[in-house]
Amino acid sequence: MKKRLLAMTLASALCAGMLAGCGGGTSASGNGGSSADSGSSDAYNISVIVKLTDGHFNKVMAGAKAYADEHDNVNVDIQSPTSATSYDEQVNMIETSLGNPSIDALVLAPLQSNSASTLVANTDKVVIALDTDFTSDKKLAFVGTGNKDAAKSGGTAAVEAAKANGVDKPTVLIVTGVQGDETHEARLAGYKEGVEEAGGEVIEVQYCDGLAEKAATAMESVMQMYPDGIDIVLSSNDDMAMSVVKIIKDSGNVKYADTIVCGFDGNTSAISAIKDGTLGMDIAQLGYDMGYKAVEAAVKALEGEQVDSFIDSGSKVVDSTNCDEYIDDMKAKGLWE
């Protein structure tokens, strides 16, 4: 059977018919794409819905595509809303995939975990949580970073780095995502635990919806609240971390000149910033492995195999000592943008 990566014609048709509801979500397609409805009856048609299109999810999507490319009987249909707050847009995508009888499995990175739980409550399709977990007896597995442990390792490394710079009890600001989002809450908890165990102190937490512009505003406010400086800023994604770095640089505030900023994702911009000395460190998710393993888990379930309830796709703390090694690995996989 000739392998076919499903194009987004189904999602596009929905957008054309319900433009206001669809809201312009993006999608990924491969060579010779076809809609899910035209797939061969003996092929597995898997809908992969991510949170947004960014450096991290580009790697996730590449991994999902790679699995399909390697298996002639697997088609993947990858969709993405236009932003991390396009909730209704993603809901439309989920409902359409669940309502399509030719889709066999849903691999979902939900923008809202509670909404995802409700949406899949009555489905008979295979459901795999991707990147962000949610509670449901319909969900067979969660494939993603062990977010709490990964963040803990980053928090610990940042405090140790600050102490190496001569700070006895480093002060820490955490900028994080949407309040209640399971991924960002897990990272927040991990950061706090790592900081406290390493001998630092979290003095401020700012919820910024995972958005760079909100992190910038929050950082400006924090610099006014703490004029004597903060030793560490821990961010739960790279976009916010890079925004914080820019605000600190543009301010020219010498009290923040030695502030260590740590991102989370492993995006090209963040790793490049570590190499040039702008960003202190980053917690790199292994997004390619995440996407690959999620589709693999869905196929195993469709074939009647048992899958683990949690599949950790891994993470790595990257700083100036190992960023070249990380970049070389990404280039070898074709993932360096």
Rounded Cα gap, residues 294 and 49, in angstroms = 11
Judging by DSSP bridges, how do beta strands 281-285 and 315-318 pair with one another?
A: antiparallel
DSSP 173-228: EEEE-STT-HHHHHHHHHHHHHHHHHT-EEEEEEE-TT-HHHHHHHHHHHHHH-TT
Beta strands in the chain (DSSP E): 26-28, 44-49, 74-80, 105-108, 126-130, 139-144, 171-176, 201-207, 232-235, 260-265, 281-285, 310-312, 315-318
Rounded Cα gap, residues 295 and 315, in angstroms = 19
Whether residue 40 is predicted with pLDDT greater than 80 in this model: the reply is: no
Q: Where does the pLDDT of residue 41 fall: very low under 50, low under 70, confident under 90, or very high at 90 and above?
A: low
Q: Where does the pLDDT of residue 251 fall: very low under 50, low under 70, confident under 90, or very high at 90 and above?
A: very high
Rounded Cα gap, residues 319 and 153, in angstroms = 12
Per-residue pLDDT, 26: 53
Residues 193-223 pLDDT 10s: 999 999 999 999 999 999 999 999 999 999 9
Per-residue pLDDT, 329: 86
Q: Where does the pLDDT of residue 235 fall: very low under 50, low under 70, confident under 90, or very high at 90 and above?
A: very high
Residues 61-84 pLDDT 10s: 999 999 999 999 999 999 999 998
Rounded Cα gap, residues 50 and 248, in angstroms = 31
Whether residue 7 is predicted with pLDDT greater than 60 in this model: the reply is: no
Per-residue pLDDT, 79: 97
Whether residue 35 is predicted with pLDDT greater than 70 in this model: the reply is: no
Per-residue pLDDT, 174: 98
Contact yes or no for 74/39 (Cβ under 8 A): no
Q: Residue 293: which of 134, 90, 113, 66 has the closest Cα? A: 66
Paired tokens of 164: 């190496």
Whether residue 18 is predicted with pLDDT greater than 60 in this model: the reply is: no
Per-residue pLDDT, 231: 98
Per-residue pLDDT, 333: 78
- Please state, as a whole number, how many other Cβ atoms lie within 10 Å of the Cβ of residue 175: 27
Residues 269-308 pLDDT 10s: 999 999 999 999 999 999 999 999 999 999 999 999 999 9
Mean pLDDT of 110-134: 95
- The proportion of the chain whose per-residue pLDDT surpasses 90, expressed as a percent, equals 79
Per-residue pLDDT, 27: 54
Residues 94-110 pLDDT 10s: 999 999 999 999 999 99
* pTM score: 0.72
> Taking the chain, what is the end-to-end CA distance rounded to the nearest angstrom?
32
